[in-house]
Amino acid sequence: MKNIVSLLFVYFSFLLGFHAQDLSGSIVDADNGEPLAGVNIVVEDQNEGSVSDLNGKFNIENFESGSTLVFSYVGYKTLRLKISSENFLDFKNINVSLENDLSELDEIVVIGYGSQKLSDISGAVSTVNNDAIESVTPVRVEDALQGQASGVNIISSGSPGSKPTVLIRGITSYAGNDPLVVIDGVSASIDDLNSVNPNDIKSVNILKDAALASIYGVKGGSGVIVITTKTGKRNSKTSFNISTSTGFQEVVKKIDVLNAAEYVAILNEASVNSGQGIVFPDISGYGLGTNWQDEILNDAPIVNHSVSASGGSENTSYYVSASYTGQEGVIGDGDKSFFNRTSFTTNIDTDLNEKTKLIVNTNYSNIKGKSLPENGITSVLSNALNFDPTVNPYKESESLLGSDGATLFQEHSSQNGSFGTSETITQEIINPLAQIYNTYNQNKVNKFTGKIELQYDLIEDLKVTSRFGYTYVDIYDKSFVPLQFYGIGHNQTNSEPDLSPIVSIDSEGNSTSTHNRVTEGHTNYFTYTYEFYGNYDFSINDLHNFQTVAGFSIGESKGGNISATNEDVPFNSWAYADVSAATGNALQQTSGSWQYVNRNLSYFSRLLYDYDEKYYASLTARIDGSTSFGSNNKFGFFPSASFGWVVSKEEFFENIPIDFLKLRASYGSLGNDNISPQFALISTFPSYVLNGNIISGSSLGSIPNDDVSWENQVQTNIGIDTRFFGNKLSLTLDYFQKTVDDLLFSPNLSLYLGTPSFPTTNIGSTKSSGIDANISFNTNIAALTIASNLNFTTASNEVVSINNGDKYIWGAGYGIPYRPIVRFEEGFSPGYFYGYVTDGLFQNQSEIENHASQSLNGTFPGDIRFVDLNNDGMINDSDRTKIGDPFPDFTIGWNLNLDYKSFDLSVFTYASVGNDIYRAYERNLSYTNRFASVLERWTGAGTSFEEPRVTFIDSNNNNRASDRYIEDGSYLRIKNIQLGYSLSDSFVEKLGFSQIRAYMQVKNALTLTEYSGYDPEISVGGVLNTGIDYGTYPQPRIWSLGMNFKF
């Protein structure tokens, strides 16, 4: 660590004077003597001040001798100067020089088994500090990383507490792209971030390239997110920090669907077009009907409270905190959809003796949640969009129809069974209010994570660390499927209208009946990692500096689940919904269980070297063994190297007006072990019926692969760090290239091998390349402090080969009937959309006759023309191609922080450009609702060239997966605006606080997009299910007010 000794040159001369007098002087840069303009000068404890002019001159009137002046300026150390006649003779000629504040550049980055100054790193890293996190007040910490760190792409959904898709530097794998998460040295996963209180986090460092991530070897292939939590300071008084905020969430956008009057008219036309009669003979009096979106979308509260205390004595420091986060869903009422987290953190370190330090970190979290069906044709939003607008929400409200046809249903009774039902929709699509009412589930998570660490100074400069990290998770969940009624003959109905079971009598007079059902499950996970390593840091001649580390890591991760189901819950009631209360007989009860275990053993070492902080080099290697690998391939080796050169320290650079310039390069290998052990397993699942009884049988369920191993990634990184204009402007630019071989796939083998699961094999490769860039700018204009940061992330990915037989693998699909839409295919970008290409509409019969044959069941004018890509005169599966890519071409995050006197403002804007969305929330039954776009439908030659005719019989299969459903999902979103006001120090001190700040915040304030759906940011889970809008849970706009207290 190099401390820059404070250098302050003060020139002064004696001058006796009055107690209150005018004061003036000038301010210069301590390094080069240049005048500094815009320095903020405040007389301490008085609300007076001034700002230096272009020549660095300043002037303060009525200065009281003996007061203290505070000089502050971005990028420079704040200077406090007591001015009295004893030390200043000439109050008219106070010359001050301010010294560069390089603390930001000295920022410590935790790099795994050690730490380094940011300016010393020759790999690629992004850092996000706690200020940036706190200004977002996120529910999950990932929310605060979006757009804050270059090279990181985060796609989240609005569902409370849900896990986002996190991609570091593109998509390289089919099996999994979640980065490794390391919390205070303990390995964890993105899933574990649901229990981390963002207020506990001191900094997040993202290790992006091989040089940095290869210390984590086989787990580092998708990047590493290193989280450091807060600790106390030695020899400091206890300081308390209380933050509280409360707000509400609203859905800003609604999708334009047909109202009741439009619906009946369109349905009549569709029926006639399909050769059937009019279905609504009298179309008057329908009015607007029910807008189901209005019925289910509500404003919902969100609260965050946290309190922490930290401090330390000579030998011990501590940080303890407690927090509560409560977020209700904007869909349905808060009692059906929410995420509540309570967490407690205790971080203590203490010196057991001169040489031994003990660190104990403990976190307990309790998470409770309930959720409604989302992301699919049976989701609440899908029902709201597709359900019949002529149906009233509640049966009782029929008499409450307003004169304008608008429904007034405030006086409803929300008894089950009293919900409005459709007589014409008998499949899947149901009254979403009834669905919400009938959805019962809960999820409770108790989680302990932490570590016990001993650090021992073996000899001078050699420290050994012994660390035991653990995570224990206990999850209890319960769900209840009541007897429910959605209309007679509806396939989701399982009760009579009065909610009694449906009793069926068969031909012999035997009766059977429907049942309600309750399921409870218990899952637990326990993961531990024990690590032992030594750090030996030394210098030779104060020029050759070495930091070395070597050690090993041993760990195990295991989990298990047990679940039970029973039927006949008393009173058909959630209150009695428990397996113990249900009265089903032995045949109605079922149970299940599963378990897994995974162990690993690793050895690692790293050498960091620099020559006079001018030339840098690193060598890192890790050997990883895992139970996941085949018996012929137990250990993998992951080496890396990097070089750095601080060009600006060279003599020839002296006269170049660049403050700092560093070139970096790294090369190395990483892995991905997203596999499970593979054996020839006998499956006891097959069964057959003999004598009317189910008899268990067996078959060979899976085929082994003893050679299976990790995915092997080689990554090259070239980077540059530079700063200009007195360090006000800094730029970091990185270019990376990754190639992944031995990609893990389940191969598509000959179908004549039957149905066992085939072993995962290393049979593919991908490559990715991209640029991460970050520009920061900090300055003062008068009393205004500006800090701004712009980052840019782009990655292009290609699947180079998949030797699975087909050269492709299907990803997600949608709809009924099911249509696959996503592919992971050789020669294409991963997870792209695959389907037919449309070419307008057939305007007349001759156009149909002149085109390739499209449909076996008949094509009519007004139907969609699909492009015959292979020119074989037939439109069939072979005419499908790439029709979109769900991943953005690039993303940009822009942070702007302004401070002016007592006010502070932070604005964060995020843009995603080039991501396509596939619209998949239309059910397309005859009587389901349609989107307002059908009002522009084709009704005769020349009436429309885009929107096909309406019909009940889609004989042309207009609804096939095609580019008709692709939309450009590019968007620019003001993600966060926070405006704060800090009460004046003197007032605050009188109240006994050190800081009181109030703020107002708007999240997702504004979204600019062409996309027609709720939200262009769509995350369901994983690379092969991104960008498909199943009626995605929109990210609400959140208005909140908050207070911070420190004392």
Partner 1 sequence: MNNFKNIFVYSLLILSLNNCTDHVDYEAIENYAITAEVYFQQESDYEAALVGTYDPLQWMFFNIQIGAIASDLSLCGGESASDYLGLQEINSMTHYPENDVLSNVWRWLYEGVNRANYMEENKSNIQFDGKESMYGEVYFLRAYYYFQLIKFFGDVPLFTDVRLTAGDSGSLSRSAASLVYEQIELDLQNAISVLPASQSEQGRVNKFTAYALLGKVLLYQEKFAESAQAFDQVIGVYSLVSDYGSQFLRFGENGPESIFEIQYTNQSNWYDWNCIQCSEGNYGIIMNGPRGWSGPEYAQGWSFNVPTEEFFNSFAEGDTRRDATILDIQSFADQTGSSYTEGYDHTGYFNNKYIPRAGESGGQIELNYLTNYRIIRYADVLLMAAEALNRGQIDDATALQYLNQVRARAFGSSDNNLNVSGSALTDAIWLERKYELALEGHRFFDLVRTGQASSTIAGFISGKHEVFPIPQQEIDISGLEQNPSY
Q: Per CB under 8 A, which of residues 730..759 are in contact with partner 1?
A: 747-756, 758-759
Interface residues for partner 1 in 644-683 (CB under 8 A)? 677, 679-682
Question: Could you tell me which of 343, 132, 327, 366 has the C-alpha nearest to residue 245?
Answer: 327
Q: Which of 671, 695, 697 is nearest to 683 (CA)?
A: 697
Rounded to 5 degrees, φ, ψ at 16 are: -75, 145
* Beta carbons of 717 and 211 less than 8 angstroms apart: yes
Q: Does 1010 bind partner 1 (CB under 8 A)?
A: no
Q: Report the nearest approach of partner 1 to the CB of residue 788 (Å).
A: 49
Q: Count the helices and strands in the chain (H runs, E runs).
A: 9, 55
Strands 20-29 and 94-98: parallel
What number of CA atoms fall less than 13 Å from residue 602's CA on the CB side?
28
- Residues 73-132 binding partner 1 (CB under 8 A) are none
CB of 929 to partner 1, least distance (A): 17
Which CB, 543 or 682, lies closer to partner 1?
Answer: 682
The nearest distance, CB 628 to partner 1, in angstroms, is 8
The yes or no reply on residue 278 touching partner 1 (CB under 8 A) is no
In angstroms, what is the minimal distance from the CB of 171 to partner 1? 25
Q: Of 507 and 850, which has the nearer Cβ to partner 1?
A: 507
Binding residue for partner 1, selected from 599, 611, 889, 940, defined by CB under 8 A: 599
**Residue 506 binds to partner 1 (criterion: CB under 8 A):** yes
Cβ proximity to partner 1, 821 vs 1005, nearer residue: 821
Between 18 and 596, CB nearer to partner 1: 596
Which of positions 553-592 make contact with partner 1 (CB under 8 A)? 554, 565, 587-588, 590
With contact defined as beta carbons under 8 Å apart, do 388 and 295 qualify? no
The only residue of 103, 410, 510, 541 in contact with partner 1, by rule CB under 8 A: 510
371 versus 705: smaller Cβ distance to partner 1: 705
Cβ count within 10 A of residue 286? 18
Peptide bond into 747 cis (omega under 30): no
Q: Which is nearer to partner 1, 777 or 808 (CB)?
A: 808
Alpha carbon of residue 403 to chain centroid? 47
Q: In this complex, which beta carbon is closest to partner 1, that of residue 245 or of residue 957?
A: 957
Q: For residues 530-549, which are near partner 1 according to CB under 8 A? A: 532
Distance CA 300, CA 335 (A): 11
Q: How would you label 681-719 residue by residue, b for 16+ Cβ within 10 Å and e otherwise?
A: eeeeeeeeeeeeeeeeeeeebeeebeebbbbbbbbbbbb
Q: Does 626 bind partner 1 (CB under 8 A)?
A: yes
By the rule CB under 8 A, 857 interacts with partner 1: yes
Q: Following DSSP, what letter does each residue of 637-675 receive, concatenated?
A: EEEEEEEEEEGGGSGGGTTSS-SEEEEEEEEEEEEE---
Between 164 and 671, name the residue whose CB sits nearer to partner 1.
671
CB of 379 to partner 1, least distance (A): 16
Distance CA 910, CA 918 (A): 21
* Binding residues among 513-532 for partner 1 as defined by CB under 8 A: 532
Q: Which stretch in 159-167, 296-304, 593-601, 912-920 sits in contact with partner 1 by CB under 8 A?
A: 593-601
Rounded to a whole number, what is the distance in angstroms from the first to the last CA of the chain? 31
Which of the residues 867 through 886 are near partner 1 (CB under 8 A)? 876-878
Q: Which is nearer to partner 1, 757 or 994 (CB)?
A: 757
DSSP letter string, 283-319: -TT-TTB--HHHHHB--EEEEEEEEEEEEE-SSEEEE
CA 418 to chain centre: 39
Q: How far is the CB of 322 from partner 1 (least distance, A)?
A: 37
Q: Please identify which residue in 205, 600, 672, 929 interacts with partner 1, judged by CB under 8 A.
A: 600
Shortest approach of partner 1 to residue 686 CB, angstroms?
Answer: 4
Does residue 695 interact with partner 1 by CB under 8 A? yes
Q: Which of residues 922-941 bind partner 1 (CB under 8 A)?
A: 924-925
Widest Cα–Cα separation across the chain: 118
Residue count (the chain): 1047
> CB of 799 within 8 A of CB of 827?
yes
Site string for partner 1, 964-993 (x = CB under 8 A): ------------------------------
Closest CB to partner 1 among residues 366, 424: 424
Q: Which of residues 457-476 bind partner 1 (CB under 8 A)?
A: 458, 464
- DSSP H or E segment with residue 261: helix 260-273
Stretch of 21-29, 366-374, 698-706, 762-770 contacting partner 1, by CB under 8 A: 698-706
Residue 827: CA atoms inside 13 Å, Cβ hemisphere, count? 5
Residue 803 binds partner 1, judged by CB under 8 A:
no
- Determine phi and psi for 495, rounding to 5 degrees: -145, 170
Stretch that binds partner 1, among 86-94, 324-332, 596-604, 995-1003 (CB under 8 A): 596-604
Binding-site size for partner 1 (CB under 8 A) equals: 94
Least distance CB 955 / partner 1 (angstroms): 5
DSSP states of 343-390? EEEEEEEEESSSSEEEEEEEEEEEEEEE----SSTTSHHHHHHHS-TT
Q: Is 633 in the site for partner 1 (CB under 8 A)?
A: no
- Subset of residues 406 to 445 that bind partner 1, contact rule: CB under 8 A: 424, 426-427
Identity of the residue, 385 or 708, whose beta carbon is nearer to partner 1 in the bound complex: 708
Interface with partner 1 (CB under 8 A), residue from 657, 688, 871, 992? 688
Please calculate the CA angle 1029-1035-1041 and round it to the nearest 5 degrees. 175
